[in-house]
């Protein structure tokens, strides 16, 4: 068994397990498997519909809850004052206790961002989460969030070699905040890229390890999802090697603005501010 990854960015474990689109026993068994292998960061969300299954796994995984780092996110349909707090209470009940990190999953309309951030802060003050952050915020929105909430912990976004996120990464770096990468291998699309495959061959490692290492080596948290034990073990191997500057630069040159895997209609026209 691999030892627990100890690398953290702003107190967030650098490698975690994403749980979308897992459900039922598949979700519970996958979370328990990951924890047994050494993962300590588990990511879920109201939108995923699996918080109860994640909570069941955490209760029976054999690791004390204070040794785990659990993230969940508020569904955009619950962003308003009438539903925000009640939705978080349900999440905490399903998870079996307070979250370590609570995020606004998708930004509300611009005129409602500050009010939604205030609702998020209220949940932290009420003890339902240790830390707070945002997800899918643009550079402008992230600056607004950091100004409103100086203790905002991170911005969880789509981040992988096929998508150029250099502008957002620069804004986060300037604010001293890490990004958290969801869809870190672009649902497998990264594995077909010739640059990544060549570097993987050079290191005698699978393309997945090269991509995840490129992410973490930039100070970005990665939360890949896998139900396969051998893949989960392989992901832990990213702490065993480094990419050189030339390799990092080559992979960084792959991305484009059109490389998104996740692009919901409500974000149309909002990504590039």
Q: With contact defined as beta carbons under 8 Å apart, do 41 and 16 qualify?
A: yes
**105-128 pLDDT tens trace:** 999 999 999 999 999 999 999 999
> Which residue shows structure tokens 């402008």?
140
Q: Tell me whether residue 163 is in a domain.
A: yes
Q: Tell me whether residue 18 is in a domain.
A: yes
CA separation for the pair 21, 225 (Å, rounded): 9
Max Cα–Cα distance, the chain, nearest Å: 55
Tokens of 253: 């040159």
Per-residue pLDDT, averaged over 34-50, amounts to 98
Q: Tell me whether residue 269 is in a domain.
A: no
Catalytic (active site) residue 48: yes
Q: Tell me whether residue 86 is in a domain.
A: yes
**61-103 pLDDT tens trace:** 999 999 999 999 999 999 999 999 999 999 999 999 999 999 9
Q: Report the candidate in 58, 114, 135 with the shortest Cα–Cα distance to residue 91.
A: 58
Q: Which residue out of 20, 39, 48, 182 is catalytically annotated?
A: 48
What is the count of structural domains for the chain?
1
Q: Which domain does 51 fall in, by range?
A: 11-187+219-227
Q: Which pLDDT score, from 0 to 100, does residue 5 have?
A: 59
CATH number of the domain that residue 136 is part of: 3.20.20.100
CA distances in angstroms from 43 to 82, 165, 176, 191, listed in the order given: 25, 21, 22, 23
Q: How many CB atoms lie within 10 A of CB 273?
A: 9
């Amino acid at each position: 068994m691999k030892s627990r990854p100890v690398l953290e960015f702003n107190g967030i474990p650098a490698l975690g397990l994403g749980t979308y689109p897992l459900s039922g026993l598949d979700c519970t068994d996958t979370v328990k498997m990951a924890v047994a292998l050494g993962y300590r960061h588990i990511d879920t969300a109201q939108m995923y519909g699996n918080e109860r299954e994640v909570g069941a796994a955490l209760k029976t995984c054999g690791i004390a809850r204070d040794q785990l780092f659990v993230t969940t996110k508020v569904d955009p349909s619950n962003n308003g004052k009438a539903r925000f707090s009640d939705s978080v209470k349900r999440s905490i009940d399903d998870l079996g206790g307070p979250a370590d990190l609570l995020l606004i999953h998708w930004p509300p309309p611009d005129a409602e961002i500050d009010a939604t951030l205030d609702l998020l802060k209220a949940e932290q003050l009420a003890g339902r989460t240790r830390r707070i952050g945002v997800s899918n915020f643009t550079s402008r929105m992230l600056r607004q969030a950091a100004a409103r909430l100086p203790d905002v912990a991170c911005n969880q976004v789509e981040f992988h070699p096929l998508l150029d996120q250099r502008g957002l990464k620069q804004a986060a770096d300037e604010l001293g905040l890490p990004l958290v990468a969801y869809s870190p291998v672009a649902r497998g699309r990264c594995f077909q890229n010739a640059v990544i495959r060549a570097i993987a061959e050079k290191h005698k490692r699978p393309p997945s390890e090269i991509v995840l290492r490129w992410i973490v080596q930039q100070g970005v948290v990665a939360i890949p999802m896998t139900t396969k034990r051998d893949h989960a073990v392989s992901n832990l191997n990213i702490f065993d090697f480094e990419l050189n500057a030339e390799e990092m630069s080559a992979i960084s040159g792959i991305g484009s603005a059109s490389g998104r895997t996740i692009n919901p209609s409500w974000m149309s026209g909002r990504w590039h501010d």
